[in-house]
Amino acid sequence: MIDFSSLGGMGRLGSYTKELSMKQKWEKKQKSGNVLEKEYKTEAGRAMAAKKNAERALMEQYRESKENEDTKLSEIHNKLNNGSSLSPDEMDYLKKKDPQTYEKLKAEREDAETLKKRLESAKTKEEAQKIMQDHANKSMLVVKTVNGNPYISDADKAALLGAEVRKLRKAEVVFEKYRETGAYGRLPTEEEKEMAEEELREAEEIELEESTKATEQKEKERRETETEKATDPDEDRAPGAKARPESVREAEHTEEAEKVKRAKTKKKLGAIYEEEASGSDLHFRNISGREVDIHA
SS3 label, residue 53: helix
Start-end of H helices in the chain: 5-8, 10-32, 43-67, 71-81, 88-97, 99-120, 125-147, 154-180, 183-186, 190-231, 248-252, 255-269
Lowest mean pLDDT among 16-20, 141-145, 246-250, 281-285: 281-285
CA terminus-to-terminus distance, the chain: 136
Residue 37 in this model has a pLDDT that exceeds 60? no
Residue 249 in this model has a pLDDT that exceeds 60? yes
Per-domain residue ranges of the chain: 5-187, 193-227, 253-293
Closest CA to 20 of 185, 165, 221, 216: 165
Q: Over the stretch 151-206, which tens digit does the pLDDT of each residue have?
A: 988 888 888 888 888 899 899 999 999 999 999 999 999 999 888 888 888 888 88
Burial 18-44 (b: 16+ CB within 10 A, else e): eebbeeeeeeeeeebbeeeeeeeeeee
The predicted model scores a pTM of 0.50
Q: Over the stretch 97-147, which tens digit does the pLDDT of each residue have?
A: 889 889 988 999 999 999 999 999 999 999 999 999 999 999 999 988 988
- For residue 219, which phi and psi values (nearest 5 degrees)? -65, -40
Contact 169, 10 (CB under 8 A): yes
Q: Is 163 exposed, middle or buried (0-12, 13-18, 19+ CB in 10 A)?
A: buried
Q: What one-character-per-residue DSSP string does 58-76 give?
A: HHHHHHHHHHTS-HHHHHH
Distance, in Å, from the CA atom of 7 to the CA atom of 136, rounded to the nearest integer, reads 6
Which amino acid appears at position 22 of this protein?
Answer: M
Distance, in Å, from the CA atom of 292 to the CA atom of 296, rounded to the nearest integer, reads 8
Q: Over the stretch 231-248, which tens digit does the pLDDT of each residue have?
A: 655 555 556 556 666 566
Residue 278 in this model has a pLDDT that exceeds 50? no
Task: Check residue 38 and report its DSSP letter.
Answer: S
pLDDT at 223: 85
What does the pLDDT average to over 254-258? Answer: 76
- Residue, of 75 and 283, whose pLDDT is higher: 75
Q: Over the stretch 55-80, which tens digit does the pLDDT of each residue have?
A: 676 666 656 655 555 688 888 888 88
